[in-house]
Amino acid sequence: MTNIPRSEYPRPQMVRDSYICLNGEWQFEIDHGKSGRARGLIDAPALSGKINLPFCPESKLSGIGYTDFMASVWYKRDVEIAKSDKRVLLHIDACDYNCEVWVNGQSCGIHYGGSTPIVHDITDKLNDGRNTITVCAEDDTRSGKQPGGKQSVRYASSGCSYTRTTGIWQSVWMEEVPAAHIASMKLTPSAANGTLLCEILCENADGLTVTAEASYEGRPVGSASAAVCYGQARMIIALTEKQLWEVGNGRLYDLKLTVGDDTITSYFGLRDVVYDGSKMLLNGKPVYQRLVLDQGFYPDGIWTAPSDDELKADIERSLAMGFNGARLHQKVFEPRFLYHCDKLGYIVWGEHGNWGLDLSRESCWAGFLPEWLEIMQRDYNHPAIIGWCPLNETQKNQDTRFVTMLYDMTKAFDPTRMFIDCSGWLHVKTEVYDTHNYDQNPETFRTNFEPLKEGKAPLCKDYVGIIPDKRMSFVSEYGGIKWSDKQGGWGYGNEPQTKEEFLTRLKDLTDVLLDNEKISAYCYTQLTDVEQEQNGLYTYERQAKFPPEEIHAILSRKSKIEE
């Protein structure tokens, strides 16, 4: 598969031997009028163009590079499949936004949402031999009815909105599974108890037994079994070794799950995330979160990294600057990125791209809530995710019922992580108090946060809602200092005239946060430039603007809560 782009196994936490990568060249056609169904594109022998998947048509790597609005796009490809007694599952790991799939002209259904996996059992629609897969994606970024994250609603990129992503932007692949097989799993570790709770969802397996076997560096460390009833098996593995997952040290256990003839391999990290009212505790120890805002955009692939190595390299670039984690901002990052976070001990907040969605309209809630649940289901097992934050800088006229519903829904599914309701502006029901402040003057920046010491809200003009009280305080966006050799572009505040002035401002702003005993987390804006936004510590092409060791010395200084 060396000549196929992004051919690495796309789902590291649920691996099977049967894997057929369908990335690479597909037929392709832009359908501005959304008339493809009426024009017979479902059954057409060919489309008018070609595309290189898994890259979106806006990207250079797709071979197209068309950046205007596209109401609808079509994909088509023939695949050879020999019929057997196994089921064939077709995966599209993300497609923005409404996606319908046909196999040999027969519809497999429609998926709504641009960031979560699509899985279809296509067995009953297959021929023995040649089969045609057709995909249609419809995308309306400007509608206000769908979350788009940082995708621009204007013709061109502007401000902090960037080139759009339309259609398929993550891997397309197939796998064969027995009729009785594992569909998904929810793994809940307890570092305090040295256990792993396994909740396994199965297809066609009632009455069978699921066996789970854990190991660490090849050594067996525990196993358990449970019968499948109503499609689910639950068991607890008591681990004979405690190897804790920590910041900077992503110790991972291996896990093998078996039901009938189906076997998958996975992994997990043993860690507990709690907060004591003022700071995060990881395995009972306080951790100061030194985070960076990561937009997850790439100059040649837009939302899709050009290679798996580049996913890992962005984490290493962040670590080199002194950060220990990131806000994965206004985008649902692909599982391969989270896999590298897990291995490197890099803590992250899982978010959704709510920008572009008018949450003041009840009709828009139906597009957000199911996908948010799908996001949590996909990513629950990653130890690197230490908290959830579904919304960012929402409207101040936000319907509080929706935010309350999000809190209750998230905590019902996942009571093991921290939760921020709406990062930055409006807080309705939250466990962590966070705020955004791009003041570039260190003296007034310090004054802004003095009220926190008395349990009061900071002096931030955009803030509304509840007061910090005894909640952990997190300055989840600050800095954003522009530095670029390019003409134009923007950042926050006046651009420093010299590198020395930049480093001094960065140090003074960061020291304000580290010196405030009520602040236990920060997030600097941002890791890289993105198109016209020129406030990254790296350029868009991933070149360091300053020696990483100099930034590292500023950002990694001990905070008040660590002294």
pLDDT at 358: 84
Domain residues for the domain of 64 are 20-177
User: Residue 463 above 60 pLDDT?
Assistant: no
User: Residue 512 above 90 pLDDT?
Assistant: yes
Residue 181 — pLDDT band, cuts 50, 70, 90?
A: very high
Q: Are residues 71 and 171 in the same domain?
A: yes
List the one residue out of 249, 273, 247 whose CA is nearest residue 326.
247
pLDDT at 433: 85
Q: Are residues 172 and 191 in the same domain?
A: no
User: Residue 186 above 90 pLDDT?
Assistant: yes
Alpha-carbon Rg for the chain, nearest whole angstrom, is 24
Q: Are residues 435 and 361 in the same domain?
A: yes
User: Residue 275 above 90 pLDDT?
Assistant: no
Residue 229 lies in a domain: yes
Contacting residues for 243 by C-beta, under 8 A, at least 6 apart: 216, 251, 253, 270
Share of the chain above pLDDT 90, in %: 84
pLDDT at 473: 86
User: Residue 399 above 80 pLDDT?
Assistant: no
The answer to whether 238 and 196 are in contact (CB under 8 A) is no
Q: Are residues 315 and 459 in the same domain?
A: yes
Weakest mean pLDDT among 102-111, 194-203, 355-364: 355-364
Cα–Cα distances in angstroms (integers) from residue 188 to residues 86, 234, 325, 341, 415, in the given order: 30, 11, 21, 18, 10
pLDDT tens, residue by residue, 444-455: 999 999 988 887
Mean pLDDT to the nearest integer, 224-247: 98
Of 177, 205, 221, the last residue of a domain is: 177
User: What DSSP character marks residue 142?
Assistant: G
Residue 13 lies in a domain: no
pLDDT at 453: 84
Mean pLDDT to the nearest integer, 463-485: 80
Secondary structure of residue 405 in the 3-state scheme: helix
Residue 1 lies in a domain: no
Q: Are residues 169 and 306 in the same domain?
A: no
Cα–Cα distances in angstroms (integers) from residue 352 to residues 95, 159, 442, in the given order: 15, 20, 31
Residue 12 lies in a domain: no
pLDDT tens, residue by residue, 66-85: 999 999 999 999 999 998 99
Who wins on pLDDT, 356 or 369? 369
pLDDT at 396: 65
441 CB-side CA count, 13 A: 4
Q: Residue 220 corresponds to which tokens in the numbers above?
A: 């067996």
pLDDT at 395: 66
Residue 5 lies in a domain: no
Residue 194 lies in a domain: yes
Read off the pTM.
0.96
Of 158, 177, 196, the last residue of a domain is: 177
How many domains in the chain?
3
Q: Are residues 213 and 199 in the same domain?
A: yes
pLDDT at 466: 63
Weakest mean pLDDT among 21-35, 221-235, 282-296, 391-405: 391-405
The answer to whether 172 and 22 are in contact (CB under 8 A) is yes
Residue 163 lies in a domain: yes
pLDDT tens, residue by residue, 140-151: 999 989 999 999
Residue 345 lies in a domain: yes
Q: Are residues 350 and 246 in the same domain?
A: no
Of 250, 271, 292, the last residue of a domain is: 271
User: Residue 216 above 60 pLDDT?
Assistant: yes
Q: Are residues 416 and 459 in the same domain?
A: yes
List the one residue out of 509, 557, 396 whose CA is nearest residue 463.
396
Q: Are residues 336 and 456 in the same domain?
A: yes
Q: Are residues 119 and 217 in the same domain?
A: no
Cis peptide before 97 (omega within 30 of 0): yes
> Any bridge partners for residue 349, and if so which?
327, 387
User: Residue 397 above 80 pLDDT?
Assistant: no
CATH assignment of the domain containing 213:
2.60.40.10
pLDDT at 138: 98
Q: Are residues 266 and 286 in the same domain?
A: no
Mean pLDDT to the nearest integer, 78-106: 96
User: What length is written for the chain?
Assistant: 563
Q: Are residues 265 and 299 in the same domain?
A: no
